[in-house]
Amino acid sequence: MLARMTDATPLLDIRDLHVAVDGKEILKGLTLTVGAGEVHALMGRNGSGKSTLSATLMGHPRYKVTAGTIRYKGEDLTTIPVHERARKGVFLCFQYPLALPGVQVSNFLRQSVKAVRGDVPTKEFRPLVKKHLETLGIPQAFMTRYVNDGFSGGEKKRMEILHMLLLEPSLAILDETDSGLDIDALKVVAEGINRLRSKDRGVLLVTHYQRILDLVVPDHVHVLLSGRIVKSGGADLARELEVKGYDWLEQEAA
Ligand code: ADP
Ligand code: MG
C-alpha cells in the first residue's frame, strides 16, 4: 500500500517494537517518535538495546522484528529492502567503521553519493566536498588516502561525518559516534550534526555522554532500559542522568 506523507506524518514512528537476536528478545515494546526537525538523544546503560535499535533500523539481517511497527515517512520500514533505505534517506553512522584498503576516500564518497543521490557532476561535487572539508577542518590530502586505512579514531569519525553530510540524509542515526573521542574530534561530530540539522531532517543520537549534548542540544532525551524506553524528557534529563546515573530509573521501572 502506498503511504502518503503529510505534514502530520512523523519522520520515524516506532510503536511497541519487539526485536530478537538469535532467538533472544532484546527490544521489548519500544515506542519512539522522531519528528522532522528534531534531534533525539537515546541513552542507557550498556546492553540496554541501543545498538539493537540502530541495527534494526538499518535492516541488519540478524535482527528480527517479532512484533510492533516501524514507519519511516509513513511507509513500513521493515518492508523496504536494506539497499533502498539509504536511497530513501536513512543513514547509520557506524560505531566501528570498516577499512577499505585500496579505495580512495574521494572515489568512495563519489560512488556512494552516486548510489544514494544519483550522479552529481564533478563540477558540483568538488566545491561541495571542499565546503564540508573546510567546515570540518579536514585537510584536502585526506581525499587521496584509503578509506579508514590506518586512520586514527578521530579521522574515522571525520570520514563518517563527511560521508553523512554529502549524503544529506533525512534520518541520521549515530550509534555512539562520540565514544572515545578527543575534544577536537568530538567538535567535528557535533558540527556535522548541527550542520545537518534542519526542519525536514531528524537525528537519532545514541550516546552515553553529556559532553556531546552540550554541543548538540537535543530536543528530546530518552532512556532505554531492558529493551524499553522508561523515561523521556528534554535536554535537562541528560544532565540529570549525568549526576544521578541510571539506578533511580531502574527502581522506578521495577
Ligand atoms: P547497547 O547498544 O545498549 O549496549 P546492544 O543492543 O548492543 O546494547 O545489546 C543489547 C543486548 O543484546 C545485550 O544484553 C547483549 O548481550 C544482547 N545481544 C546482542 N547480540 C546478541 C546475540 N547474538 N545473542 C544473544 N544476545 C545478544
Ligand atoms: Mg551499543
Residue 90: pLDDT band (50, 70, 90) is very high
Report percent pLDDT > 70 for the chain. Answer: 96
* pLDDT averaged over every residue in the chain: 92
Determine, yes or no, domain membership for 147.
yes
Q: Return the amino acid letter for 136.
A: L
pLDDT of 120 reads: 87
In a domain, 222, yes or no: yes
Ligand 1: residues within 6 Å at CB?
21-22, 24, 26, 44, 46-52
SS3 for 179?
Answer: coil
Order of strands, sheet of 24-34, starting from the edge strand that comes earlier in the sequence: 24-34, 12-21, 63-72, 75-76
Pick the residue whose CA is nearest to atom 20 on ligand 1: 21
Residue 1: inside a domain: no
What pLDDT score was predicted for residue 180? 80
* Euclidean distance between CA atoms 158 and 173, whole angstroms: 16
Residue 6 lies in a domain: no
Ligand nearest to the CA of 225: 1
**DSSP of 192-251:** HHHHH--TT-EEEEE-S-HHHHHHS--SEEEEEETTEEEEEE-HHHHHHHHHH-SHHHHH
Q: Helix 122-136 crosses helix 153-167 at what angle (to 10 degrees)? A: 140
Alpha-carbon span 164 to 88, nearest angstrom: 14
For ligand 1, atom 16, name the residue with the nearest CA. 47
Ligand nearest to the CA of 62: 1
Range of 123's domain?
12-253
Residue 112 lies in a domain: yes
Q: What is the pLDDT of residues 175-203, one digit of tens each?
A: 988 878 889 889 999 999 999 999 999 99
Angle at which helices 105-117 and 122-136 cross, to 10°: 120
The residue with greater pLDDT, 111 or 1, is: 111
7 falls within a domain: no
Q: What is the mean pLDDT of residues 160-185?
A: 91
Q: How many domains does the chain have?
A: 1
Q: Which of 19, 25, 26, 45 to mutate to test the pocket of ligand 1 (most atoms within 8 A of CB)?
A: 26
* DSSP 8-class letter at 176: S
Would you say residue 114 lies in a domain?
yes
Contact (Cβ atoms closer than 8 angstroms) between residue 234 and residue 34: no
The rounded Å distance from CA 12 to ligand 1 centre is 23
CATH number at residue 46: 3.40.50.300
Q: Looking at residue 146, what is its pLDDT? A: 95
Residue nearest to atom 11 of ligand 1 (CA): 47
Band of pLDDT at residue 243, cut at 50, 70 and 90? very high
5 within domain boundaries: no
Three-class secondary structure of residue 7 per DSSP:
coil
